[in-house]
A and B are shown apart, each in its own frame.
Chain A
């Protein structure tokens, strides 16, 4: 029963409670397509999510799923992967979850480079708690928590990731399914920590964006401004400085693989490196090993 033919439907569970038109539908669909194209089995995947609308993604995706605490998906996911390297581990959540309350973990997960994928559904607003300002909201963003406009500048997660040595940095757009499937596949196949930030608009709390005094629909706005790196044949994904320049040039509004580097993942640095799942190692030590360890106390 372990190896069955998979299709995107294999990974469908219950229907989401997200608002109709929510960008997260696109991310879920892309993930189901990517898992099928990779030929993964539901039991081989573990999605560890945080709290927020996006954190519910593993309620709707048929695989092992652990829905954790606000901002804490990354440490849990790293623990899962280190305990069983055979699993495909994906952490997921939103911008508030990952770049606000969980920002401390984000930076360190990036530099630790455990072989896993982090998908962030970034919509620049708190959705589930009903429309408050988020760490990626632009300066001046008005909401119940900043009724006269946010005084803070936004977090720049892609730049933070680049600066801390993230070995795979990409950004997708939830309305571009084809590219998003491709990015998820590349992120999962990447050996090391891969960050995939997805612009996944909230149609309820950030339905429109004001531009030149005009209200523009959020999807239209992103479509108009996004710079797709896949259409740029001269862009060198191995050049970190070029990646920074591109982000600064386009105010981070780019899609595609922004940066990728081949370097050993966390596990490969470990003394006594083994690929065995730890469930198989949780056995008592034999007397000879115990005696050997005890020798230092004599």
Chain B
């Protein structure tokens, strides 16, 4: 029996496709499988094609599957579902479709089509709403997944609606299962071995993990404007933050959102905003405000396809330059990049320590695949979440200074202690005009040089890992990337290793200040490197060249709105390895 399977449900958007997708993923998680889910959707409420790919495995998985083994198709939007997904089907895969479906399979296709009366059976049970449970039952017949787990999910989901509804859903599952067994028999090649001792792990979307991390790390204020693919950060906080005294404000726009967060931080809160590219563009002037007034703020940027409105529901990493260089003038800032769901949790919690310590904007660079994708988190270690508020003076501290307090005192590390408004003895002006160490507006040349230097040296030492290397060095090939590209690189490296290639993965964990020395040391131990990134112009590759010197590294650049698949990383990696001599040419 196999230990891994890729399952997918597809159909017309707005017809309830997300539900079976999440039910299947959650059921598999409960059965002890590692899961990875990605939802393909469009920027409209009804109509258009949507699908939800769920990969399950006995071992941790961090990427979408290259091929789909079992696909479920509803009658609505069936033709589009077939046309858009047939190429992704494994040659021995099957499609489970509603018996009333009018769509045709492409001529010559060898994919087996199983027609099951999803809606017919549901109608007999009493409501068309049960169709997706009939389909779940049919899926379990093909894959051999334990029907009990589906029943447990039904109990958990519908218990509130009463025993009758629960029983009807059970019947739907059983009849879907029975129909497949009776009409089509068994599919031994698609059977997934059960997990012998299922562990109860966490299954999270990156957005939710980031929001949870923020709350865990002491964030009690979030102001944001709804935007795909970052809305879930806001929605999760709106649901949970009040339990610990937190406030979520829906701002009128992203300028207001980030400015409210800056105001809250200035007044002593741990405050944040969450957004995506278009909103992040609107926040650029405020980044400078945070930088110049030395007020902490945490911004989660869940990147999506740009520019302008761009590809609102598709992944991209096109904001690298904007995150690092955005806003006029020069400010200290920190940009960190989680690549897994648990890193979304830990990094967002840690972002507040960095912001408080360095008194500057801290940007958590995420992307759509990471933010809206869903997968297994082995374990969250609460002891890893710390709260370090940096230098803040109490009334007693200020009294000792006897009126000599300077908000922007010229310290060795550049970081000047804060006095929060409301604290006796700390009254001062903080201005977004250039100012003296005491905070008064100045245009004096000497004042300007000294305080600008002071601010910029605040990030000379940032206590956050620059990169994470997986695999042994020296290596034939070093794959370099960050964010959601990390998982596909890891899997590509594993599969290349199985073919006898020595491949290491260098995941960038901090984009700014750029870990140039660390990266250079890694690159020197690879015969060749390949930069995998989700944009067309090679923003990361150019950043590496600017920071580490040398020629532009070869790249795999993806900007078609589809997440990275391990197979395409492998294909490009082989090209690069095959011709090391030409590998130094971009």
Contact = CB atoms under 8 A, between A and B. Distances in A.
B433 A69 contact: no
Interface of B: 200-204, 208, 212, 215-221, 223, 240-247, 249, 251-253, 255-257, 259-271, 285-286, 289, 293, 352, 377, 380, 382, 385-387, 389, 392, 395, 399, 420-433, 440-441
A120 B257 CA distance: 22
Contacts of A42: 427
Contacts, number: 218
A84 B422 contact: yes
A56 B441 CA distance: 10
Contacts of A41: 424
Contacts of A285: 215-216, 244
Contact of B429 (A2, A43, A67, A79): A67
Contacts of B252: 104-105, 107-108
Nearest to B288: A69
B256 A75 contact: yes
Nearest to B389: A282
Contact of B293 (A58, A66, A74, A104): A66
Contacts of B257: 75
For B212, B245, B251, which residue has the most chain A Cβ atoms within 10 angstroms? Answer: B245
Contact of A76 (B203, B208, B263): B263
A34 B28 CA distance: 66
Contact of B267 (A68, A112, A277, A298): A277
Given A43-B421, A104-B253, A282-B389, A83 B269 contact: yes
Interface in A268-298: 270-272, 274, 276-279, 281-285, 287, 289-290, 293-294, 297-298
Given A87-B421, A105-B256, A297-B202, A279 B268 contact: yes
Given A282-B269, A284-B386, A272 B420 contact: no
A77 interface: yes
Interface string A31-65: 00000000001111010100100001011001111
Contact of A282 (B260, B268, B399): B268
A76 B380 contact: no
A69 B429 CA distance: 14
A10 to B, nearest CB: 10
B53 to A, nearest CB: 20
B429 A59 contact: yes
Given A43-B421, A44-B422, A59-B431, A278 B259 contact: no
22 contacts: A1-B424, A2-B395, A14-B440, A43-B421, A43-B427, A65-B428, A65-B429, A66-B430, A68-B432, A74-B256, A75-B257, A76-B266, A78-B263, A79-B221, A81-B263, A82-B260, A87-B422, A104-B253, A278-B268, A281-B246, A284-B387, A293-B215
Given A79-B263, A108-B251, A278-B220, 10 more contacts: A42-B427, A44-B422, A46-B422, A65-B428, A66-B266, A67-B433, A104-B252, A278-B268, A282-B219, A283-B387
A79 B422 contact: no
Nearest to A4: B424
Per DSSP, are chain B's interface residues mostly helix, strand or loop, or mixed?
mixed
A297 B216 CA distance: 15
A68 B255 CA distance: 13
A279 B382 CA distance: 21
A278 B221 CA distance: 8
A287 B383 CA distance: 9
Contacts of A65: 428-431
A43 B255 contact: no
Contacts of A84: 267-269, 420-422
A163 to B, nearest CB: 16
B351 to A, nearest CB: 13
Given A80-B267, A82-B264, A68 B259 contact: yes
B339 to A, nearest CB: 19
B285 A2 contact: no
Given A277-B268, A279-B267, A293-B212, A82 B430 contact: no
A13 B438 CA distance: 13
B256 to A, nearest CB: 4
Instruction: Classify chain A's interface size.
Output: 35 or more
A72 interface: yes
Contact of B440 (A1, A59, A62): A59
Contacts of A107: 252
Interface of A: 1-2, 13-14, 41-44, 46, 48, 51, 56, 58-59, 62-69, 72, 74-84, 86-87, 104-105, 107-108, 112, 270-272, 274, 276-279, 281-285, 287, 289-290, 293-294, 297-298
Contacts of B380: 290, 294
A238 B386 CA distance: 51
B286 A72 contact: yes
A103 to B, nearest CB: 11
For A44, A51, A67, A274, which residue has the most chain B Cβ atoms within 10 angstroms? Answer: A67
B243 A272 contact: yes
Contacts of B256: 74-75, 104-105, 108
Contacts of B241: 272
Contacts of B285: 69, 72
A269 to B, nearest CB: 11
A231 to B, nearest CB: 38
A298 B202 contact: yes
Given A77-B263, A279-B269, A282-B220, A1 B425 contact: yes
For B269, B271, B289, B420, which residue has the most chain A Cβ atoms within 10 angstroms? Answer: B269
A1 B426 CA distance: 12
Contact of B289 (A69, A82, A87, A108): A69
B220 A75 contact: no
Nearest to A60: B429
Contacts of B244: 272, 281, 285, 289
A272 B245 contact: yes
A129 B349 CA distance: 43
Given A79-B266, A278-B269, A284 B217 contact: yes
B286 A69 contact: yes
A85 to B, nearest CB: 10
B202 A294 contact: yes
A75 B251 contact: yes
A213 B218 CA distance: 64
Contact of A79 (B217, B260, B293, B382): B260
